[in-house]
Homo-oligomer: A and B are copies of this chain.
Amino acid sequence: MAKKTYLPHLAYDSVIFGFSDGELKILIMEYHNTGLFALPGGFVQKTENLNDAVLRGLHERTGITNIYLEQFYTFGDMARFKPEVMQTLLEANGIDAKGEYKWMLDRFVTVAYYALINYKDVTPRPDALSDSCEWYPIKKLPKLILDHKLIVEKAIQTLRDNLDRKLVGGNLLPKKFTMNELQKVYEAILGAKLRRTTFQRKMLAADVLKRHEKQFSGKAHKAPYLYSFKK
Contacts and interface: CB of A to CB of B under 8 A. Distances in A.
Interface string A23-46: 000000000000000000000101
Q: Count chain B CB atoms within 10 A of each CB in A7, A8, A75, A107 and give the residue with the most.
A: A7
Interface of A: 7-10, 44, 46-51, 71, 73-79, 107, 109, 111, 161, 165
Nearest to A76: B50
A49 B107 CA distance: 11
B8 A109 contact: no
Nearest to A161: B165
Contact of A109 (B7, B78, B79, B161): B7
A10 B107 CA distance: 12
A74 B77 contact: no
Nearest to A45: B78
A200 to B, nearest CB: 26
Describe A's contact surface by its main secondary structure: mixed
Contacts of A77: 49-51
A229 to B, nearest CB: 21
Contact of A49 (B7, B47, B76, B161): B76
**Which 9 A-B pairs rank lowest in CB-CB distance, beginning with the nearest?**
A50-B76, A74-B74, A49-B77, A7-B9, A74-B111, A49-B78, A50-B109, A10-B109, A47-B78
A109 B44 CA distance: 10
A48 B165 contact: no
Contact of A73 (B47, B71, B79, B107): B71
Contacts of A48: 78
Contacts of A79: 49
Contacts of A51: 76-77
A25 B128 CA distance: 50
Nearest to A162: B161
Contacts of A111: 74, 76, 109
Contacts of A49: 76-79
